[in-house]
Chains A and B, each alone.
Chain A
Amino acid sequence: MLPQALLTAEIQSSVGVELEPDVIAVEQRMMQRILKSTGDTNPRWGEEVPPAFLLTWMMSGAKMSPRLPPALNWLMSDGELEIVSPFIGLLDGGGEWEFLSPIRLGDIITSTMRITSIRETTGRMGRMLIVTWERVHTNQRGEQVAVSRGTLIGY
């Protein structure tokens, strides 16, 4: 059973918190894995990276951030972290991506994630916490190449 309040003061204080940056070297094998998993055979995607590259980049992976309380770490890891969480499950509500400049093989992308809002609501699955986030993606020359935003629902 869920606790009385999902939106605790500790969780609320995470709004605006920036997580430790992720750094990824864009390499061919990674691209091949993404293209094979989507079935996208468009010949354009060689040197130029497909949009799916940024679609894959949502969660924090199985990394615990000391900057977030456990419940949000659980949500941000897609439930992968084996930690105590007030949630039974989570849903991906979708997102938005702005592609500002092409990403190419060999680029080194630094992605910084920030929690932008948290609210509690009640829906068909009972009480839910709706968390929105934003990621800013920058290349090795310091150019902003993309911004992505998303919504996670913990219930």
Chain B
Amino acid sequence: MQPFFEDVAIGQELPPVTRRPKLMQMVRWAGASENLHPVHYDPEVIRASGVPDALVHGRLKAAFVTEVVTNWMGTRGTLHKLSIRLLGMDFPNQELVCRGKVIGKPETSGGPVVECEIWLENPQGEVTVRGTAIVSLPHRNGS
């Protein structure tokens, strides 16, 4: 359903996106992004790095949290800006829940602009990705 600028309230939560990346999905991302660092898939390098399992790519997690906004903004919304901080490690076969909420409707922008906070929570309850997104939404009157 298309959200309209007038109907959006500060504090409103966005529908979450849940992912449980398997190693195969991470390898797919490694190929698509040409990020072939072996700590994301090679057991020897993972052991030598002292981490318990393959690391889910930070940018893949960034793509997951971005979907919270792009799914919500509808076909007439536009993503203008995205800021992402990668705060911690995540591992395959864990449920990663991406959430978001509206934190502002900056009047200084001059347009129907909405600011959202987005983040990713792992099963331990840790927030390992946090960011913001700026989107514009259509007005209800069609402008």
To the question of whether A and B form a pair in one complex, the answer is yes
Interface of A toward B, CB cutoff 8 Å: 30, 33-34, 36-40, 42, 44, 50-52, 55-59, 61-62, 78-80, 89-99
CB of A56 within 8 A of CB of B71, answer no
A58, A61, A79, A99: the one contacting B59 at CB < 8 Å is A58
Assess A96 versus B81: contact at CB under 8 Å? Given A37-B25, A37-B29.
Answer: yes
Report chain B residues within 8 Å CB of A58.
33, 35, 59
Q: Please, which residue of chain A has its CB at the minimum distance from the CB of B71?
A: A42
CB of B28 within 8 A of CB of A33, answer yes
Q: Please, which residue of chain B has its CB at the minimum distance from the CB of A57?
A: B33
CB of A96 within 8 A of CB of B84, answer yes
B60, B70, B82: the one contacting A44 at CB < 8 Å is B70
Assess A39 versus B80: contact at CB under 8 Å? Given A33-B31, A56-B33, A78-B36.
Answer: no
Tell me, in angstroms, the Cα distance from A101 to B60 when the chains sit together: 23
CB of B131 within 8 A of CB of A38, answer no
Q: Please, which residue of chain A has its CB at the minimum distance from the CB of B57?
A: A92
Shortest Cβ distance from A132 into chain B, in angstroms? 13
CB of A94 within 8 A of CB of B85, answer yes
Report chain B residues within 8 Å CB of A78.
35-37
| 28 chain-A/chain-B pairs, Cβ below 8 angstroms | A30-B32, A33-B31, A34-B32, A37-B25, A37-B28, A37-B33, A38-B29, A38-B60, A40-B70, A44-B70, A44-B75, A51-B66, A51-B82, A56-B33, A62-B34, A78-B35, A79-B37, A80-B36, A80-B37, A91-B86, A93-B86, A94-B86, A95-B62, A95-B84, A96-B81, A96-B82, A96-B83, A97-B81
CB of A99 within 8 A of CB of B81, answer yes
CB of B86 within 8 A of CB of A92, answer yes
Tell me, in angstroms, the Cα distance from A51 to B66 when the chains sit together: 8
Report chain A residues within 8 Å CB of B93.
none
Report chain A residues within 8 Å CB of B85.
93-94
Tell me, in angstroms, the Cα distance from A79 to B37 when the chains sit together: 6
Report chain A residues within 8 Å CB of B63.
38, 40, 51-52, 55
> Which of B59, B62, B78, B131 has most A Cβ within 10 Å?
B59
Shortest Cβ distance from B136 into chain A, in angstroms? 11
Sorted nearest first, the 7 A-B pairs with minimum C-beta distance are A56-B33, A37-B28, A37-B29, A52-B63, A94-B85, A92-B58, A33-B32
Q: Please, which residue of chain B has its CB at the minimum distance from the CB of A33?
A: B32
